[in-house]
């Protein structure tokens, strides 16, 4: 299979601090991720003053304020995003940021080559049209969506000029309980649309994204942080760097293990064929001219002689010479 695209989701785990953001980029690179992803937004453009925080955000922050107030503490300046994009280029990891409103789409269009649409924007028609019009490839998260809603979004993107679309199965809950993952829904997306699929993970641990790769995910997205004990809404549902590194390593191993699907002996096992397979041999002393039968031949290792699959061909023939017990039969 082609290499799985691993997106290390830094999100807002920089807490509005560009130096922390750079450390997150360094960590993502060190861990072997292909992409490090942030979030770009204007708090006043994405949340009304009446929008409330999610329950997990209240619990993680141990306070209650409006979404706009919370998000205002988690923003970076436009020039800082430009600096981060350049920093990513310099150290050799792809920069990506998810825009949350049209103003941010227009800003990011000049500094990134693909789009990642979050689950919450899958019903945001004007936003998706703006993204599609760029003609760039799109990765679309489908959390909280029905198949019909995904199809509607897919049609909006394709009909307005979007490039290649990859659909990510996702459960929008932080953290996601295992019983709510429904990983087989990723295969439903693949079957229904015939497009590449992947998985955006919000579970604790790394086993579910690894399973998703084994099931055919071409993109994996996972939140990470420098320290789960840092203050902020998403840290507690994020991997720490050593866990991210373990996840990437496991994904790369699964890629190798999946192979090309052609059923042939591998190079490493070919040398064992003669050792573990069996041949037709003499089960007792056989004289020349004696008829070979189940009474005087059997099968034993090594597999360097006549294959037992030729058993019926050998039975009833006459011994061409004398054979000692355990000697390979020749015909």
Strand residues in 123-231 grouped as ranges (E):
137-141, 165-170, 197-201, 219-223
User: What pLDDT is attached to residue 61?
Assistant: 64
Residues 280 and 180 in one domain: no
Residues 173 and 292 in one domain: no
Contact status, residue 103 vs residue 83, Cβ threshold 8 Å = no
In a domain, 171, yes or no: yes
pLDDT confidence band for 59 (50 / 70 / 90): confident
Peptide bond into 227 cis (omega under 30): no
**Mean pLDDT of all residues belonging to the chain:** 95
Q: Where are the alpha helices (DSSP H) in 47-194?
A: 55-61, 67-72, 78-91, 102-108, 125-132, 147-159, 184-193
Contacts 24+ apart (CB under 8 A), 171-175: 171/143, 171/202, 172/119, 172/120, 172/143, 172/144, 172/202, 173/56, 173/202, 174/54, 174/56, 174/202, 174/234, 174/236, 174/237, 175/202, 175/203, 175/204, 175/236, 175/237
Residues 156 and 288 in one domain: no
Range of the domain at 90: 5-258
What's the average model confidence in pLDDT over 304-316? 98
Residues 291 and 219 in one domain: no
Name the residue with tokens 């919000």: 202
Query: Each residue of 132-165: pLDDT tens digit?
Result: 999 999 999 999 999 999 999 999 999 999 999 9
CATH assignment of the domain containing 91: 3.20.20.70
Residues 227 and 282 in one domain: no
In a domain, 326, yes or no: no
Residues 154 and 271 in one domain: no
Residues 163 and 211 in one domain: yes
In a domain, 319, yes or no: no
User: What pLDDT is attached to residue 51?
Assistant: 86
Residues 282 and 244 in one domain: no
Q: Rounded CA gap, 71 and 42, in Å?
A: 8
Residues 28 and 159 in one domain: yes
Q: How many CA atoms does the CB half-sphere of 32 hold within 13 Å?
A: 15
Residues 293 and 180 in one domain: no
Torsions phi, psi for 107 (to 5 deg): -70, -45
Residues 199 and 274 in one domain: no
Count: domains in the chain: 2
User: What pLDDT is attached to residue 45?
Assistant: 87
User: What pLDDT is attached to residue 174?
Assistant: 87
Residues 300 and 228 in one domain: no
Q: Rounded CA gap, 198 and 221, in Å?
A: 8
What's the average model confidence in pLDDT over 288-293? 98
240 by DSSP, 3-state: which? coil
């Amino acid at each position: 299979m082609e290499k799985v695209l691993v997106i290390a989701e830094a999100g807002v785990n920089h807490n509005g601090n560009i130096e922390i953001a750079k450390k997150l980029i360094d960590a993502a690179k060190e861990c072997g991720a292909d992409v490090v992803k942030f979030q770009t937004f204007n708090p006043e453009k994405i949340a009304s003053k009446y929008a409330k925080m999610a329950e997990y955000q209240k619990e993680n922050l141990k306070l209650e304020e409006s979404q706009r107030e919370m998000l205002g503490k988690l923003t970076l300046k436009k020039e800082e995003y430009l600096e981060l994009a350049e920093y990513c280029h310099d150290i050799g990891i792809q920069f990506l940021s998810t825009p949350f409103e049209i103003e941010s789409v227009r800003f990011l269009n000049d500094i990134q080559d693909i789009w990642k649409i979050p689950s919450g924007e899958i019903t945001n028609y004007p936003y998706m049209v703006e993204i599609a019009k760029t003609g760039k490839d799109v990765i679309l998260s489908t959390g909280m969506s029905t198949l019909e809603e995904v199809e509607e979004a897919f049609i909006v993107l394709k009909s307005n000029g979007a490039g290649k679309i990859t659909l990510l199965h996702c459960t929008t809950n932080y953290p996601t309980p295992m019983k709510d993952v429904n990983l087989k829904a990723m295969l439903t997306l693949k079957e229904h649309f015939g497009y590449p699929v992947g998985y955006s993970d919000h579970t604790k641990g790394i086993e579910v994204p690894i399973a998703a790769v084994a099931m055919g995910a071409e993109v994996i997205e996972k939140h990470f942080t420098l320290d789960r004990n840092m203050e902020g809404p998403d840290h507690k549902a994020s991997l720490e760097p050593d866990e991210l590194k373990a996840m990437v390593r496991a994904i790369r191993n699964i890629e190798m293990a999946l192979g090309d699907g052609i059923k042939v002996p591998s190079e490493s096992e070919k040398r064992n064929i003669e050792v573990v397979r069996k041949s037709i041999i003499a089960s007792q002393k056989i004289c020349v001219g004696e008829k070979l039968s189940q009474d005087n031949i059997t099968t034993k290792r090594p597999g360097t002689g006549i294959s037992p699959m030729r058993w019926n061909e050998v039975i009833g023939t006459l011994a061409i010479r004398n054979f000692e017990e355990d000697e390979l039969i020749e015909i």
